[in-house]
Structure 1
Amino acid sequence: MGHLLGATHAGVALQTTVPPGLEPASTEDAYQAQLAFLQRSRSGIGGWKVGAKSEDGPIQGAPLPLSCLHPTSSAIARGAFPVLGLELEIMFCFDWAFTPRSTPVPEEEVMESISAVGASIEIVSSRLAGWPDVPRLCQLADLQNHGALVTGELADYHEGFDFRRPQAHLTFNGADVFKGQGSNPAGDPRRLLGWLVNHCSEHGIAIPAGTVVTTGSYTGMFFPREPGLVIGQISGLPPIHFELS
């Protein structure tokens, strides 16, 4: 996806269009475009995003460039993104490494591999002109509309945590963006993890131990119009914050 790569050069927020003849023809084509984008940009995989629009709907995911992961308390330039939305999410961390195999990875094995959990804030962005009114498969190829991920501190994973409807609080410059019981469109986001591990296995991609996976918004998407301080809190997890400069 050379068009997407060109939209990231020189630290300037640009957008591009994908000629109709180069649009992905299938979901598999979009996934191959994701990997080609990372290869051409010489970026390693720092983590993954995965999500679904309903509790029983299809699951999709994308690799996250290592250069686009930022720890809590970072300062991130607003001008680096042509469009910018914020989502407060929950991320999981695998304690085990997964390497490609010839048979499906059992769900139980994936669940046993979860070592830690934390809050994350995804910066949703797009390198495609006209977003969000662009073809769905082009959005998937564009790393599923990924701009950056701010990662919070990790806490030990507990099965009994309320992953479906935790209390969530997101503020921008001290004003509430969301406060109350959050919900993830996918339902319990842990159901997404087995899909991801097997997706990577089928595509010959290893998942190292310590990999983080962010799993969709609990607060909807917020579009800030100015620089400011972003603070997120999901009850039971360490708070997360960063400066949008």
Structure 2
Amino acid sequence: MSDPRVTSVVHALLRARQTYHQAEAGEFSETLSSAEQAYAAQDGVAQALQWFGPEGPMHWKSGGASRQATLTHAPLPPAGIWNSPASAGGFAFAMRGIEAEIALRLGQSVNAEQAATLDASGASALIEAMAVSIEVVDSRWSGGMAAPALLRLADLQTHGALVLGPWVPWAPRDWSQQVCRVYIGEQPVVQRQGTHALGDPVWGVPEWLRHATRGGRTVAAGTVLTTGTWVGVLNASAGDLVRAEFDGIGAAQVQL
């Protein structure tokens, strides 16, 4: 982490995590100029906080606004991975955005050579299970989702916590017909059908694996990937009970 621009962002993110006070995004709005710098900042924070063991990250997020957009990826710290039904307890959030997602679990390890030529069909063959997941969106930057894109990427793409529902065996589906519902406190239920931004949660898996295996790394069997929201980012508050349901797959819930 010799790039002083990356180092300054890492230090700002570490201070925000340690003090529970968001860093001023405006002070760093032009510090990073590439996704590679943002990913280096992710790595710098993870190394400083010793999040991952020798096997590397076992939970990731990956996604994008469309198949034409550049997908982004982030390894997720283990302290914020919760099994449903979960309770946030005293976990500190600056914001509580809610994304309803499908998580996938690899049935075998994948190295860089395998990932290099992988397509969606090959990726599907690597998956052993799926689960409903809820990502709680949070930010270490002032402005939250309005912070510059590279700063959000450096901050694990605004990740707060991940709630995983029960695992069920993986099987391809007609995702255009998939219905999901999200309940947040006393708010009206949000229902969507076929609204995954990539059309199919597996579509982005090959690109994620190529990212995760950079530098000759191997992604371990059992690694979990949550694959992007079906409902955008919904607002929740402390004290809300949040539940996401996907017909035919299952549900997950968290008490905030």
Q: TM-score, normalised by structure 2?
A: 0.87
Residue 63 (structure 1) aligns with:
75
- Cα deviation 1:23-49 (Å, max 9, x = unaligned): 222111111111111111111223111
Q: Deviations over 1:75-122 (max 9, x none)?
A: 104761111100110111100111334971422442211111110000
Q: Which amino acid aligns with 1:120?
A: S
Change (3 A) 1:232 1:167: same
Matching residue within 42, 52, 57 for 2:50: 42
Q: 1:22 to 1:46 in 2, by over 3 A?
A: farther
* Structure 2 residue aligned with 1:6: 15
Q: Which amino acid aligns with 1:15?
A: Q
Provide structure 2 residue ranges, at least 5 long, that are not aligned to the other structure. Answer: 1-9
Matching residue within 53, 58, 76 for 2:88:
76
The answer for the alignment partner of 1:89 in structure 2 is 101
Q: 1:103 to 1:120 in 2, by over 3 A?
A: closer
Out of 112, 124, 140, the position equivalent to 1:127 is 140
CA contact (8 A) 2:74 2:157 kept: yes
Q: Return the structure number with greater helix share.
A: 2
The reply on whether 1:221 has 2:233 as its aligned counterpart is yes
Could you tell me how far apart the structure 1 residues matched to 2:191 and 2:251 are? 14
Q: CA deviation at 1:73?
A: 1.0
Counterparts of 1:156-171 in structure 2 under 5 Å? 156-159=169-172, 161-171=173-183
Distance 1:21 1:185 in 2: 27
**In structure 2, how many angstroms separate the alpha carbons of the residues matched to 1:221 and 1:132?**
10
Identity percentage of aligned residues = 28
Structure 1 segments, 4+ long, off by >4 Å, are none
CA distance in 2, matches of 1:194, 1:180: 26
Report how far residue 181 of structure 1 moved: 1.7
Partner of residue 137, structure 1: 150
Distance 1:14 1:110, change over 3 A: same
Query: Counterparts of 1:187 and 1:124 in 2: how far apart (Å)?
Result: 22
TM-score by length of 1: 0.90
Rate the CA distance shift 1:54–1:180 in 2: closer, same or farther, 3 A.
closer
1:32 to 33, 40, 43: 40
Give 1:150's aligned residue: 163
State how far apart, in whole Å, the 1-side matches of 2:245 and 2:104 are. 16
> 2:107–2:222: 8 Å Cα contact kept in structure 1?
yes
Distance, in Å, in 2 between the alignment partners of 1:180 and 1:63 is 27
Structure showing the higher strand proportion among its residues: 1
Equivalent residue letter for 1:183: T
Distance 1:155 1:21, change over 3 A: closer
**Which residue of 2 is the match for residue 17 of structure 1?**
24
**Secondary structure at 2:24 match in 1:** coil
Q: How many equivalent pairs are there?
A: 241
RMSD: 2.0
Contact 1:7 1:15 survives alignment (8 Å): yes
Partner Cα separation in structure 2 for residue 118 and residue 3 of structure 1: 34
> Is the 8 Å Cα contact of residues 182 and 219 (structure 1) preserved in structure 2?
no
